[in-house]
Amino acid sequence: MQENKYEFIKEKRKEIPINKKKLATQTGYVCIMALLFGVIASLVIAFLQPKIEEKLYPKQEPLVSIPEDEPTETAAVEDTEITESTETQTETEEPIDMLVWKPTIEDYQMLQSQLYAVGQQANRFVVTVTGIQSETDWFNNDYENRDQGSGIIIANNSQELLILTEKKIIVSAQELYVTFIDGVTVPATMKQYDGNTGIAILSVALSEIEEETMKLVSIAVLGNSLAVPQGTLAIAVGSPMGVNFSILTGNITSNTNTISTIDANYKIFTTDIVASQNGSGALINTKGEVIGLVMQDYSRQGDENTLTAVSISDLKALIEKLSNGKEVAHLGLGISTVTSDIEKSYDIPRGVYIKEVKMDSPAMIAGLQSGDVIVEMDGVAITDEAAYEHKLLQLKPEDKVSIVIKRQGVNGYVSIRCDVEVSKLK
Using 50, 70 and 90 to split pLDDT, how confident is the model at 2?
Answer: low
pLDDT for residue 18? 61
Distance from first CA to last CA of the chain, Å, rounded?
Answer: 121
Rounded to two decimals, the pTM is 0.78
pLDDT for residue 302? 54
pLDDT for residue 88? 44
Residue 151 clears pLDDT 50, i.e. is over it:
yes
Establish if 111 belongs to a structural domain.
no
pLDDT for residue 173? 85
Tell whether the torsion through CA atoms of 348, 354, 356 and 357 is positive or negative: negative
Establish if 266 belongs to a structural domain.
yes
Look at 41 and 370; give whichever has higher pLDDT: 370
- What Cα–Cα distance (Å) separates residue 132 from each residue in 173, 187, 245, 276? 5, 11, 20, 22
Number of domains in the chain: 3
Look at 269 and 4; give whichever has higher pLDDT: 269
Torsion on CA atoms 233, 239, 242, 247, rounded to nearest 10: 50
Residue 29, domain extent: 18-51
Q: Is 388 exposed, middle or buried (0-12, 13-18, 19+ CB in 10 A)?
A: buried
Quote the CA–CA distance of 125 and 237 in Å, as a whole number.
10
Residue 48 clears pLDDT 70, i.e. is over it:
no
Same domain, residue pair 363 and 392: yes
CATH number of the domain enclosing 352: 2.30.42.10
Residue 19 clears pLDDT 90, i.e. is over it:
no
- What Cα–Cα distance (Å) separates residue 15 from each residue in 19, 23, 27, 387? 12, 16, 21, 96
Establish if 204 belongs to a structural domain.
no
Establish if 280 belongs to a structural domain.
yes
Using 50, 70 and 90 to split pLDDT, how confident is the model at 128?
Answer: very high
Same domain, residue pair 307 and 369: no
Same domain, residue pair 349 and 309: no
User: Please, what is the Cα angle at 403 between 398 and 405, to 5 degrees?
Assistant: 150
Using 50, 70 and 90 to split pLDDT, how confident is the model at 399?
Answer: very high
Same domain, residue pair 407 and 354: yes
Establish if 407 belongs to a structural domain.
yes
Q: Quote the strand ranges of 222-276, DSSP E.
A: 233-239, 246-261, 264-274
CATH number of the domain enclosing 261: 2.40.10.10
* Average pLDDT across the chain, whole number: 85
Residue 10's contacts (CB-CB under 8 Å, 6 or more residues apart) are none
Residue type (1 letter), 294? V
Residue 277 clears pLDDT 50, i.e. is over it:
yes
Quote the CA–CA distance of 268 and 256 in Å, as a whole number.
7
Give pLDDT tens digits for 65-90.
787 777 765 443 333 333 344 344 44
Query: Domain boundary at 314, 349, 368, which?
Result: 314
Same domain, residue pair 310 and 337: no
DSSP state of 140: S
Q: Is 148 exposed, middle or buried (0-12, 13-18, 19+ CB in 10 A)?
A: middle
Phi and psi (nearest 5°) for 262? -70, 120
Q: What stretches of 57-104 show up as alpha helix (H) in DSSP?
A: 74-92
pLDDT for residue 7? 56
Average pLDDT over residues 32-36: 74
